[in-house]
Amino acid sequence: MAGAGLAWAGHSAWQAIQTWGTPTCSWPLQVRGTPSPAQAGLVRCYLRALASRDTAGLMTVAADIPPVRITSADLRYSADARAGLATAAFTPNPEDTTSDFVTITYADGVRESASMMNMVAMGGSSGWRMNIGTEISPGSPAPPPAAAG
- What is this structure's pTM? 0.81
Q: How far apart are CA 46 and CA 52, in angstroms?
A: 10
Q: Tens of pLDDT along 62-111?
A: 998 889 999 999 999 999 999 999 999 999 999 999 999 999 999 999 99
- Please report the pLDDT score of residue 13 as a whole number: 39
Q: Looking at the predicted structure, is the pLDDT value of residue 112 above 80?
A: yes
Q: How far apart are CA 36 and CA 92, in angstroms?
A: 11
- Please report the pLDDT score of residue 2 as a whole number: 46
Q: Tens of pLDDT along 124-145?
A: 888 999 999 999 877 656 555 6
The CA angle 19-20-24, to the nearest 5 degrees, is 45
Distance between alpha carbon 31 and the CA centroid of its chain, in Å?
Answer: 13
Residues 6+ apart with CB under 8 A from 134: 68, 69, 70, 71, 73, 74, 142, 143
CB neighbours of residue 1 within 10 Å? 5
* 142: DSSP letter: P
User: CA 119 → CA 50, 56, 72, 92, 105, distances in Å?
Assistant: 21, 19, 24, 16, 25
Q: How far apart are CA 2 and CA 68, in angstroms?
A: 49
Are 100 and 35 a contacting pair, CB within 8 Å? Answer: yes
- Please report the pLDDT score of residue 85 as a whole number: 97
Higher pLDDT residue, 63 or 148? 63
Average pLDDT over residues 107-130: 93
- Please report the pLDDT score of residue 140 as a whole number: 58
Q: Tens of pLDDT along 2-44?
A: 444 434 344 333 344 445 689 999 999 999 999 999 999 999 9
